[in-house]
Amino acid sequence: MTKFTDFINNTITNSGIILRNGFGSKFQIDNKIGKNNLVTEYDYKSEQFIIDEITKAFPTHNIISEEEGSVNNGSEYDWIIDPLDGTVNYANNIPIFSVSIALRKEGQLIAGAVYQPILDELFSAEKGGGAKLNGTPIYVSNKNEMNTSLLVTGFPYDINNDPKNAIKSFTNIVKRGIPIRRLGSAALDLAYVACGRFEGFWEVNLNSWDVAAGILIVNEAGGKCTNYKGDNSKVEDKEILATNGLIHEESIRVINED
């Protein structure tokens, strides 16, 4: 599996260089379906680079990407990529964004990475091999109460429709006085849970490319990722709760309170 991890790490850092070079410059910004659902020319540049690298190295593999959609070659391998997670931040010169690449074999995540180009932080994991930050092993935090935790969340572009009672879930937590952050990059949120910066992350209406690498990294760092019912996360789920494991059951209970 090392060949996959080496490939992911090299590809994701080089795509990050593309984003870093474009950050703060003048570029085209367009709006996709949904309020403030932006895309820039650097989303496309980063994505095209990643797709080209995958196609050259693994021409028979499938590709699932945010901007270009899917390439189905009938392979047992799926590459799931988000070339720029945090486009709204990027478009507004806020240095909080990431690139995410994951590899799935026969439906099971086996390798993945999340890269923050501005801080040069590379979060990576192999199934059964643990999680790392710039090559050093990382682990989730050991806090065991929500009230002493630092949490992070995000809101879907259709929050006005309140999907899956997203507003109620948020107020259930915020009214307890628990500190909450909203970074704007789900991939980074998951990576930060994995390294113990946050105890938990929850959000709805995410896509596979937002969470695939992060789910593997959290799990390999000793954390837990599920849907709101407590079932183990699948990349196609439209909801996710990722925690250090110690506050997981309490988080499920609070999120689902009427």
- Can you give the residue ranges of every domain in the chain? 2-138, 146-255
Helices assigned H by DSSP within 38-130: 41-57, 87-91
Q: How far apart (Å, rounded) are the C-alpha atoms in residues 88 and 73?
A: 32
Bridge partners, 224 (sequence order) = 243
The DSSP call for residue 256 is T
Q: What is the pLDDT of residues 141-153, one digit of tens each?
A: 999 999 999 999 9
pTM, entire model: 0.94
Give the full edge-to-edge strand order of the sheet including 151-153. 180-181, 151-153, 200-204, 239-243, 224-226
Q: How far is CA 178 from CA 152, 170, 207, 228, 252, in A?
A: 10, 11, 27, 19, 15
CATH architecture entry for 146-255: 3-Layer(aba) Sandwich (3.40)
Are 2-138 and 146-255 equal in CATH topology?
no
The confidence score (pLDDT) of residue 32 equals: 57
Domain 2-138 has CATH 1.10.10.10: no
Q: What is the mean pLDDT of each run of 10 residues along the chain (258 residues)?
A: 91 97 83 60 93 97 89 97 95 96 98 98 98 98 97 86 86 96 98 98 96 98 97 95 98 95
- Report, in angstroms and rounded to the nearest whole number, the Rg of the chain calculated over CA atoms: 17
Q: What is the pLDDT of residues 20-62, one digit of tens each?
A: 999 988 777 776 545 555 678 889 999 999 999 999 999 999 9
